[in-house]
Amino acid sequence: MAVLLSLGDTALASALRQSTIAYPLVSSAHILGLGLLIGAVVTLDLRLLGAIRRGTLSELAPLMSRLAAAGLLLALVTGPLLFSVQPAHYLDNRAFLLKVIFISLGLLNVLVVHQLPHWKAVLAGQPVAPILKLNASLSLALWLAVLLSGRWIAFV
């Protein structure tokens, strides 16, 4: 907790607080990150669930996974910068805490899927196994929950 609160005392945090352009730039990059991440995740999950039928998964899955990874990286770099502007406020914000829980569960779900032989089978052009459809449904719910709880932060 003390380490998280001390993020607010860094030179970077005070620069973000004082500059009229730096915070909007970082916040925009955060939104770009979540847009790439959630856009790619929703597209891939709907394809795995069969709601989207066009495009082979052996082509789409690696492409969407890389886009999602790029978005995640951008969100994970810019998120702590936004957090550092007022760490005590965010640590006391239940929407923020919920978002961190949903992000952790979303990442755990991704790690599990990528270990499954069924995922490798799909990359090799095999049909989508029921367990992957279950993971895709869970992924959709978790990342949309991240989006909602992220937006809710400003209203709590």
Record the tokens describing residue 27, joined without a space.
């916040």
The binder of ligand HEM chosen from 37, 60, 110, 142 (CB under 6 A): 37
Site stretch for ligand HEM (CB under 6 A), options 16-24, 50-58, 128-136, 148-156? 148-156
Q: For residue 48, what are the CA distances in angstroms to 39, 91, 134? A: 14, 36, 10
Residue-by-residue DSSP string for 42-65: HHHHHHHTTSS--S-HHHHHHHHH
In whole angstroms, how large is the CA radius of gyration of the chain? Answer: 18
Q: According to the binding rule CB under 6 A, does residue 31 interact with ligand HEM? A: yes
Record the tokens describing residue 11, joined without a space.
């030179």
Q: According to the binding rule CB under 6 A, does residue 87 interact with ligand HEM? A: no
> How far is residue 104's CA from residue 111's CA, in Å, rounded to a whole number?
11
Record the tokens describing residue 3, joined without a space.
């380490």
CB of 56 to ligand HEM, least distance (A): 27
Q: According to the binding rule CB under 6 A, does residue 17 interact with ligand HEM? A: no
Record the tokens describing residue 77, joined without a space.
């770099």
Q: According to the binding rule CB under 6 A, does residue 16 interact with ligand HEM? A: no
Q: According to the binding rule CB under 6 A, does residue 75 interact with ligand HEM? A: yes
- Contacts with ligand HEM by CB under 6 A: the residue count is 20
Q: According to the binding rule CB under 6 A, does residue 30 interact with ligand HEM? A: yes
Name the residues that contact ligand HEM, by CB under 6 A. Answer: 27, 30-31, 34, 37, 72, 75-76, 79-80, 82-83, 90, 103, 146-147, 150-151, 153-154
